[in-house]
A = this chain, B = another copy of it.
Amino acid sequence: MSEKVSIKEIAAKANVSIATVSYVLNGTRNVRPKTKERVLRVIEELNYQPNDIAKSLKSKKTNTIGVIAEDVTVFNVPEIIDGINDYADGHDLHIVLTNLRLHKRVGHNYADVEAYRKYAANAVSDLMAKQVEGIIYVGIHPRDVTGLIDTRGKPIVYTYCYTQNDLSIQYNDEQAAYDSVCYLHDKGHRRIAVITGLMDSIPSRLRFNGYYKAIMEHELPFEPQLIKVGDWGTESGLRATKELLELEEPPTAVLVMNDVMAAGTLRAAWEKGFRVPEDLSIVGFDNREFSDYLQPRLTTLDLPLHEMGYSSMKSLMRLVNGEPAEPVPMPLCVLLERESVASPNGAETS
């Protein structure tokens, strides 16, 4: 009912032209105070609500950006979206969210890019039709998605995944692994093992680089038997840890490349009769919520997800506004010290 009030009705009732109404609405031009007040009153009376659709049509600006998430239910995505929203809120921007629902549609077979290229393509053309100003693509697992998406020249920024030709925001995996090995070294550890994720994944390799670099720099033993390859699952963490603890000379600390596997590590230690952190120190990765409920509470690396989202939006808006892309420093992980790390056998902190 009150749906139908447009500036035309306002204009009629206030005895001015629609242009004048527009001027008072936007302050685009001077309007005599008397007139302005009159118009404002009518706007109030008629409970006028602006219509952004019409505005967008004329102005060719929608102040809307499209977010394509491969799967919003994956643990890191909501926090990234939160960061995107944070920026959007502060800049009068709106988000059209497209959820590809990859897990539900193609299971865990991310390698089969063709299978969901069409989902992405559909999402993109829908968003284009909606005249979004740009697109943010949120991958669920870090990997190279070059060529997955054609935006026909509209700005796009990727996050949590890699791409060759476009801007992509990803946290510094290598640095994080490096930092945590240094941290363990500082605590006095010398035999530091690592349990990786699947080695065909980019972050596994980057994190391993960080581990390797730190080991070399501190001239610590780099022994193949201290390197275990997991598959990101909790069972693999359990198995790998058991192998480590059965070594003649077991490590005193282990860097585990995600918290899920670290949960398995904890269990293995318990089963083998190793106390954590007294006999074995553990650093996890991801700061999953449950890592704080584990026993002991897990020391782990917090991912800068909010910052990634925020930063993606910021970069995207530069592109949207035609400014040149500027290099974005990689967001850093931060080590959360909780209870799963101690100095080994009464060794003193160096």
Contact = CB atoms under 8 A, between A and B. Distances in A.
Interface of A: 1-3, 47, 49-54, 56-57, 62, 64, 67, 71-73, 75, 77-79, 81-82, 85-86, 89, 94-99, 101, 104, 125-126, 128-131, 152-153, 234, 260, 263, 267, 270, 288-290, 293-295
Contact of A82 (B53, B86, B99): B99
Contacts of A128: 49
Nearest to A47: B152
Given A263-B290, A270-B295, A293-B294, 12 more contacts: A49-B128, A49-B152, A51-B131, A53-B53, A53-B62, A53-B131, A64-B96, A73-B78, A73-B82, A86-B104, A89-B99, A94-B126
Nearest to A88: B99
Shortest beta-carbon contacts, A-B, top 3: A290-B290, A85-B99, A263-B293
Nearest to A263: B293
A96 B94 contact: yes
A73 B81 CA distance: 9
B99 A81 contact: yes
A79 B290 CA distance: 18
A131 B234 CA distance: 47
A128 B96 CA distance: 15
A35 B161 CA distance: 45
A97 B64 CA distance: 11
Contacts of A67: 97
A128 B51 CA distance: 8
B57 A125 contact: no
Contacts of A295: 267, 270
Contacts of A86: 101, 104
A303 to B, nearest CB: 13
Nearest to A270: B295
Contact of A96 (B95, B290, B293): B95
Contacts of A152: 2, 47, 49
Nearest to A89: B101
A77 B73 CA distance: 9
Contacts of A49: 125, 128-129, 152
Contacts of A98: 85, 94-95
A98 B153 CA distance: 27
Given A125-B49, A293-B263, A81 B72 contact: yes
Contact of A72 (B62, B85, B267, B294): B85
A101 B82 contact: yes
A128 B94 CA distance: 13
A3 B67 CA distance: 21
14 contacts: A1-B153, A2-B153, A3-B153, A52-B130, A54-B57, A57-B57, A64-B130, A82-B101, A85-B98, A85-B101, A86-B104, A95-B98, A263-B293, A267-B295
B130 A53 contact: yes
Contacts of A263: 290, 293
